[in-house]
Structure 1
Protein backbone atom coordinates (compact mmCIF):
# COMPACT_ATOMS: atom_id res chain seq x y z
CA UNK A 1 0.00 0.00 0.00
CA UNK A 2 2.81 2.36 0.86
CA UNK A 3 4.63 1.76 -2.45
CA UNK A 4 1.57 2.71 -4.51
CA UNK A 5 1.56 6.12 -2.85
CA UNK A 6 4.81 6.95 -4.66
CA UNK A 7 3.87 5.65 -8.12
CA UNK A 8 1.84 8.68 -9.25
CA UNK A 9 4.43 11.28 -8.14
CA UNK A 10 7.22 9.20 -9.72
CA UNK A 11 5.32 8.99 -13.00
CA UNK A 12 4.67 12.75 -12.95
CA UNK A 13 8.34 13.43 -12.24
CA UNK A 14 9.41 11.12 -15.09
CA UNK A 15 6.97 12.82 -17.48
CA UNK A 16 8.26 16.27 -16.50
CA UNK A 17 11.87 15.15 -16.98
CA UNK A 18 11.08 13.71 -20.41
CA UNK A 19 9.24 16.90 -21.37
CA UNK A 20 12.16 19.02 -20.22
CA UNK A 21 14.57 16.90 -22.24
CA UNK A 22 12.36 17.21 -25.35
CA UNK A 23 12.02 20.97 -24.86
CA UNK A 24 15.77 21.47 -24.47
CA UNK A 25 16.46 19.44 -27.64
CA UNK A 26 13.85 21.33 -29.66
CA UNK A 27 14.46 24.82 -28.30
CA UNK A 28 14.91 27.23 -31.15
CA UNK A 29 13.83 24.71 -33.78
CA UNK A 30 10.70 26.17 -35.30
CA UNK A 31 8.06 24.16 -37.04
CA UNK A 32 8.76 24.10 -40.77
CA UNK A 33 6.29 25.92 -42.99
CA UNK A 34 4.46 23.42 -45.20
CA UNK A 35 5.55 22.92 -48.81
CA UNK A 36 2.96 24.64 -51.01
CA UNK A 37 2.09 25.37 -54.61
CA UNK A 38 -0.34 28.20 -55.29
CA UNK A 39 -1.58 30.47 -58.05
CA UNK A 40 -1.76 34.23 -57.63
CA UNK A 41 -4.63 36.36 -58.91
CA UNK A 42 -2.55 37.29 -61.97
CA UNK A 43 -2.26 33.60 -62.88
CA UNK A 44 1.40 33.27 -61.86
CA UNK A 45 2.26 29.89 -60.35
CA UNK A 46 4.42 29.92 -57.23
CA UNK A 47 5.56 27.58 -54.53
CA UNK A 48 7.01 27.94 -51.07
CA UNK A 49 10.51 26.99 -52.27
CA UNK A 50 10.67 30.58 -53.53
CA UNK A 51 10.48 31.76 -49.92
CA UNK A 52 13.97 30.43 -49.10
CA UNK A 53 16.15 33.20 -47.69
CA UNK A 54 13.20 35.55 -47.20
CA UNK A 55 11.16 36.50 -44.17
CA UNK A 56 7.57 35.70 -45.18
CA UNK A 57 4.25 36.88 -43.81
CA UNK A 58 1.37 34.59 -44.81
CA UNK A 59 -2.01 36.09 -44.00
CA UNK A 60 -5.27 34.10 -44.22
CA UNK A 61 -8.16 36.51 -44.71
CA UNK A 62 -11.59 37.03 -46.25
CA UNK A 63 -13.37 40.01 -47.74
CA UNK A 64 -16.29 39.33 -45.36
CA UNK A 65 -14.01 39.56 -42.29
CA UNK A 66 -14.16 43.07 -40.80
CA UNK A 67 -10.91 42.62 -38.84
CA UNK A 68 -9.17 41.44 -42.04
CA UNK A 69 -10.35 44.51 -43.94
CA UNK A 70 -9.37 46.77 -41.00
CA UNK A 71 -5.83 45.35 -40.73
CA UNK A 72 -5.11 45.36 -44.49
CA UNK A 73 -3.64 48.92 -44.52
CA UNK A 74 -1.21 47.82 -41.76
CA UNK A 75 -0.26 44.72 -43.77
CA UNK A 76 0.37 46.94 -46.79
CA UNK A 77 2.49 49.32 -44.69
CA UNK A 78 4.45 46.40 -43.22
CA UNK A 79 5.09 44.98 -46.68
CA UNK A 80 6.21 48.35 -48.03
CA UNK A 81 8.47 49.02 -45.04
CA UNK A 82 10.43 45.75 -45.29
CA UNK A 83 10.12 44.48 -48.90
CA UNK A 84 13.46 45.92 -50.03
CA UNK A 85 15.25 43.98 -47.28
CA UNK A 86 14.13 40.43 -48.13
CA UNK A 87 10.60 40.44 -46.74
CA UNK A 88 7.55 39.28 -48.67
CA UNK A 89 3.84 38.88 -48.03
CA UNK A 90 1.29 36.39 -49.30
CA UNK A 91 -2.40 37.05 -48.68
CA UNK A 92 -4.42 33.83 -48.88
CA UNK A 93 -8.15 34.35 -49.39
CA UNK A 94 -10.24 31.64 -47.76
CA UNK A 95 -12.03 29.05 -49.88
CA UNK A 96 -15.48 30.48 -49.10
CA UNK A 97 -14.57 33.95 -50.36
CA UNK A 98 -16.03 34.59 -53.85
CA UNK A 99 -13.10 35.01 -56.29
CA UNK A 100 -14.68 38.12 -57.83
CA UNK A 101 -14.84 39.77 -54.39
CA UNK A 102 -11.19 38.92 -53.72
CA UNK A 103 -10.04 40.23 -57.13
CA UNK A 104 -12.07 43.44 -56.70
CA UNK A 105 -10.69 43.98 -53.18
CA UNK A 106 -7.08 43.39 -54.28
CA UNK A 107 -7.47 45.74 -57.25
CA UNK A 108 -9.38 48.53 -55.48
CA UNK A 109 -6.96 48.51 -52.49
CA UNK A 110 -3.93 48.16 -54.79
CA UNK A 111 -2.49 45.31 -52.72
CA UNK A 112 1.26 45.39 -53.38
CA UNK A 113 1.85 41.71 -52.56
CA UNK A 114 0.79 38.33 -53.88
CA UNK A 115 -2.83 37.30 -53.38
CA UNK A 116 -3.89 33.66 -53.74
CA UNK A 117 -7.37 32.21 -53.49
CA UNK A 118 -7.42 28.96 -51.55
CA UNK A 119 -10.23 27.48 -53.70
CA UNK A 120 -9.95 23.97 -52.27
CA UNK A 121 -8.97 24.91 -48.71
CA UNK A 122 -5.72 22.99 -49.15
CA UNK A 123 -3.42 25.87 -48.18
CA UNK A 124 -5.38 26.48 -44.96
CA UNK A 125 -5.27 22.74 -44.26
CA UNK A 126 -1.49 22.63 -44.77
CA UNK A 127 -1.05 25.44 -42.23
CA UNK A 128 -2.88 23.48 -39.52
CA UNK A 129 -6.50 23.71 -40.62
CA UNK A 130 -6.78 27.48 -40.44
CA UNK A 131 -10.44 28.39 -39.94
CA UNK A 132 -10.45 31.75 -38.17
CA UNK A 133 -9.62 34.93 -40.03
CA UNK A 134 -7.41 36.73 -39.87
CA UNK A 135 -4.71 34.20 -39.09
CA UNK A 136 -1.16 35.27 -39.91
CA UNK A 137 2.09 33.31 -39.92
CA UNK A 138 5.56 34.83 -39.76
CA UNK A 139 8.21 32.58 -41.32
CA UNK A 140 11.96 33.07 -41.01
CA UNK A 141 14.62 32.76 -43.72
CA UNK A 142 15.05 29.04 -42.91
CA UNK A 143 11.37 28.35 -43.58
CA UNK A 144 10.42 27.95 -39.92
CA UNK A 145 7.16 29.31 -38.54
CA UNK A 146 8.26 31.78 -35.89
CA UNK A 147 4.89 33.21 -34.89
CA UNK A 148 1.21 32.55 -35.48
CA UNK A 149 -1.24 35.38 -34.91
CA UNK A 150 -4.97 34.70 -34.63
CA UNK A 151 -6.74 38.03 -34.94
CA UNK A 152 -5.06 41.33 -35.67
CA UNK A 153 -1.37 41.35 -34.69
CA UNK A 154 0.23 44.00 -32.54
CA UNK A 155 2.00 45.61 -35.49
CA UNK A 156 4.66 47.38 -33.38
CA UNK A 157 5.70 44.02 -31.91
CA UNK A 158 5.41 42.37 -35.35
CA UNK A 159 7.72 44.99 -36.90
CA UNK A 160 10.22 44.46 -34.11
CA UNK A 161 10.20 40.70 -34.74
CA UNK A 162 10.53 41.21 -38.51
CA UNK A 163 13.58 43.45 -37.88
CA UNK A 164 15.13 40.71 -35.76
CA UNK A 165 14.43 38.01 -38.37
CA UNK A 166 15.80 40.11 -41.22
CA UNK A 167 19.03 40.62 -39.25
CA UNK A 168 19.54 36.84 -38.95
CA UNK A 169 21.88 35.20 -41.44
Structure 2
Protein backbone atom coordinates (compact mmCIF):
# COMPACT_ATOMS: atom_id res chain seq x y z
CA UNK A 1 0.00 0.00 0.00
CA UNK A 2 1.20 3.45 -0.75
CA UNK A 3 1.51 6.17 1.90
CA UNK A 4 -1.46 8.10 0.49
CA UNK A 5 -3.78 5.09 0.71
CA UNK A 6 -3.04 4.79 4.44
CA UNK A 7 -3.65 8.47 5.22
CA UNK A 8 -6.97 7.60 6.86
CA UNK A 9 -5.38 5.35 9.54
CA UNK A 10 -4.14 8.06 11.95
CA UNK A 11 -7.43 10.03 12.02
CA UNK A 12 -9.40 6.81 12.62
CA UNK A 13 -7.08 5.74 15.45
CA UNK A 14 -7.37 9.23 16.97
CA UNK A 15 -11.18 9.13 16.73
CA UNK A 16 -11.32 5.68 18.35
CA UNK A 17 -8.99 6.85 21.15
CA UNK A 18 -11.11 9.96 21.79
CA UNK A 19 -14.29 7.86 21.83
CA UNK A 20 -12.72 5.39 24.28
CA UNK A 21 -11.65 8.22 26.61
CA UNK A 22 -15.11 9.77 26.42
CA UNK A 23 -16.79 6.44 27.15
CA UNK A 24 -14.44 5.84 30.09
CA UNK A 25 -15.33 9.23 31.56
CA UNK A 26 -19.05 8.56 31.03
CA UNK A 27 -18.81 5.12 32.65
CA UNK A 28 -17.01 6.63 35.64
CA UNK A 29 -19.68 9.29 36.11
CA UNK A 30 -22.61 6.94 35.55
CA UNK A 31 -21.34 4.33 38.03
CA UNK A 32 -21.89 6.25 41.25
CA UNK A 33 -20.77 4.66 44.48
CA UNK A 34 -23.33 3.51 47.01
CA UNK A 35 -22.92 5.38 50.28
CA UNK A 36 -21.76 3.23 53.21
CA UNK A 37 -24.64 1.70 55.13
CA UNK A 38 -23.67 2.52 58.68
CA UNK A 39 -25.30 3.72 61.85
CA UNK A 40 -24.09 6.97 63.38
CA UNK A 41 -24.35 7.73 67.09
CA UNK A 42 -25.53 11.27 67.75
CA UNK A 43 -24.20 13.45 70.55
CA UNK A 44 -27.61 13.02 72.16
CA UNK A 45 -27.16 9.25 72.19
CA UNK A 46 -29.61 8.59 69.35
CA UNK A 47 -28.83 6.13 66.58
CA UNK A 48 -29.00 7.52 63.06
CA UNK A 49 -29.65 4.42 60.98
CA UNK A 50 -29.52 3.85 57.23
CA UNK A 51 -33.26 3.07 57.43
CA UNK A 52 -33.99 6.52 58.93
CA UNK A 53 -32.19 8.17 55.99
CA UNK A 54 -33.64 5.96 53.25
CA UNK A 55 -35.34 7.79 50.39
CA UNK A 56 -33.95 11.18 51.47
CA UNK A 57 -31.21 13.36 50.06
CA UNK A 58 -28.53 13.30 52.75
CA UNK A 59 -25.50 15.46 53.41
CA UNK A 60 -22.78 13.85 55.51
CA UNK A 61 -20.22 16.43 56.63
CA UNK A 62 -16.97 15.30 58.28
CA UNK A 63 -15.65 18.15 60.42
CA UNK A 64 -13.76 19.05 63.58
CA UNK A 65 -13.98 21.88 66.09
CA UNK A 66 -10.25 22.48 65.56
CA UNK A 67 -10.71 22.94 61.79
CA UNK A 68 -10.93 26.65 60.93
CA UNK A 69 -12.54 26.00 57.52
CA UNK A 70 -15.13 23.74 59.17
CA UNK A 71 -16.01 26.38 61.75
CA UNK A 72 -16.13 29.07 59.04
CA UNK A 73 -18.45 27.06 56.78
CA UNK A 74 -20.78 25.86 59.56
CA UNK A 75 -23.16 28.87 59.44
CA UNK A 76 -23.56 28.26 55.67
CA UNK A 77 -24.22 24.57 56.37
CA UNK A 78 -26.92 25.62 58.87
CA UNK A 79 -28.46 27.94 56.23
CA UNK A 80 -28.33 25.13 53.65
CA UNK A 81 -30.01 22.71 56.05
CA UNK A 82 -32.71 25.23 56.98
CA UNK A 83 -33.37 25.96 53.30
CA UNK A 84 -33.81 22.30 52.26
CA UNK A 85 -34.94 20.37 55.36
CA UNK A 86 -38.63 20.89 54.56
CA UNK A 87 -38.09 19.28 51.15
CA UNK A 88 -36.78 15.99 52.54
CA UNK A 89 -33.09 16.67 53.04
CA UNK A 90 -31.30 15.24 56.06
CA UNK A 91 -27.93 16.39 57.38
CA UNK A 92 -25.43 14.56 59.59
CA UNK A 93 -22.38 16.46 60.84
CA UNK A 94 -19.82 13.80 61.80
CA UNK A 95 -17.10 14.94 64.21
CA UNK A 96 -13.73 13.30 63.58
CA UNK A 97 -12.37 10.78 66.07
CA UNK A 98 -9.62 13.14 67.29
CA UNK A 99 -12.16 15.81 68.24
CA UNK A 100 -12.86 15.67 72.01
CA UNK A 101 -16.57 14.80 72.48
CA UNK A 102 -17.04 17.58 75.06
CA UNK A 103 -15.76 20.15 72.50
CA UNK A 104 -18.22 18.82 69.91
CA UNK A 105 -21.11 18.88 72.37
CA UNK A 106 -20.22 22.41 73.50
CA UNK A 107 -19.92 23.65 69.91
CA UNK A 108 -23.23 22.07 68.84
CA UNK A 109 -25.07 23.46 71.86
CA UNK A 110 -23.63 26.99 71.83
CA UNK A 111 -24.20 27.32 68.05
CA UNK A 112 -27.61 25.60 68.32
CA UNK A 113 -26.86 23.35 65.35
CA UNK A 114 -30.28 22.33 63.99
CA UNK A 115 -29.19 19.09 62.35
CA UNK A 116 -27.93 15.75 63.63
CA UNK A 117 -24.39 15.83 65.03
CA UNK A 118 -22.59 12.51 65.41
CA UNK A 119 -19.32 11.37 66.94
CA UNK A 120 -16.98 9.08 65.02
CA UNK A 121 -15.13 8.02 68.17
CA UNK A 122 -13.38 5.04 66.59
CA UNK A 123 -12.86 6.50 63.11
CA UNK A 124 -15.00 3.79 61.48
CA UNK A 125 -17.31 6.25 59.69
CA UNK A 126 -14.38 8.18 58.18
CA UNK A 127 -12.85 4.86 57.10
CA UNK A 128 -16.12 3.64 55.55
CA UNK A 129 -16.39 6.84 53.52
CA UNK A 130 -13.03 6.24 51.83
CA UNK A 131 -10.59 7.04 54.64
CA UNK A 132 -11.62 10.66 55.10
CA UNK A 133 -8.63 12.44 56.62
CA UNK A 134 -9.07 16.06 55.57
CA UNK A 135 -11.77 18.27 56.99
CA UNK A 136 -14.19 19.46 55.97
CA UNK A 137 -15.25 16.69 53.61
CA UNK A 138 -18.90 16.63 52.63
CA UNK A 139 -20.84 13.96 50.77
CA UNK A 140 -24.18 14.54 49.07
CA UNK A 141 -26.13 11.29 48.83
CA UNK A 142 -29.12 10.92 46.53
CA UNK A 143 -32.50 9.40 47.35
CA UNK A 144 -31.21 6.17 45.77
CA UNK A 145 -28.43 5.93 48.38
CA UNK A 146 -25.66 6.68 45.89
CA UNK A 147 -23.06 9.40 46.35
CA UNK A 148 -23.85 12.34 44.06
CA UNK A 149 -20.90 14.54 44.99
CA UNK A 150 -17.95 14.72 47.34
CA UNK A 151 -16.64 18.10 48.40
CA UNK A 152 -13.17 18.42 49.87
CA UNK A 153 -12.98 21.77 51.62
CA UNK A 154 -15.77 24.31 51.69
CA UNK A 155 -18.28 23.66 48.90
CA UNK A 156 -19.32 26.17 46.28
CA UNK A 157 -22.64 26.80 48.01
CA UNK A 158 -24.44 28.07 44.89
CA UNK A 159 -23.55 24.84 43.05
CA UNK A 160 -24.39 22.76 46.15
CA UNK A 161 -27.83 24.40 46.44
CA UNK A 162 -28.47 23.73 42.74
CA UNK A 163 -27.50 20.06 43.18
CA UNK A 164 -29.73 19.73 46.26
CA UNK A 165 -32.70 21.38 44.54
CA UNK A 166 -32.35 19.07 41.51
CA UNK A 167 -31.91 15.98 43.69
CA UNK A 168 -34.86 16.75 45.96
CA UNK A 169 -37.20 17.47 43.04
CA UNK A 170 -35.99 14.57 40.92
- Count of residues paired in the alignment: 156
Whole-Å separation in 2 of the counterparts to 1:15 and 1:117: 47
Query: Which of structures 1 and 2 has the bigger CA Rg?
Result: 2
Please name the residue that 2:105 is paired with: 103
Unmatched segments (≥5 aa) in structure 1: 1-12
Please name the residue that 1:54 is paired with: 56
Relative to the length of structure 1, the TM-score reads 0.85
- Partners of 1:56 and 1:88 within 8 A in 2: yes
Correspondence for 1:142 among 132, 139, 144: 144
Runs of 4+ in 1 over 3 A off after TM superposition: 13-27
Shift of residue 29 of structure 1? 3.3
Please name the residue that 1:153 is paired with: 155
Q: Deviations over 1:18-67 (max 9, x none)?
A: 66555555553311101111111111112223222111111000000011
Whole-Å separation in 1 of the counterparts to 2:32 and 2:123: 24
What is the 5 A alignment of 1:31-42? 31-42=33-44
Correspondence for 1:90 among 84, 89, 92: 92
Whole-Å separation in 1 of the counterparts to 2:152 and 2:29: 23
Q: Specify the SS of the correspondent of 1:95.
A: coil
Unmatched segments (≥5 aa) in structure 2: 1-14
- Partners of 1:35 and 1:49 within 8 A in 2: no
Q: Specify the SS of the correspondent of 2:52.
A: helix
Q: Deviations over 1:87-138 (max 9, x none)?
A: 0100000000000000000000000010111000000000000000000001
Relative to the length of structure 2, the TM-score reads 0.85
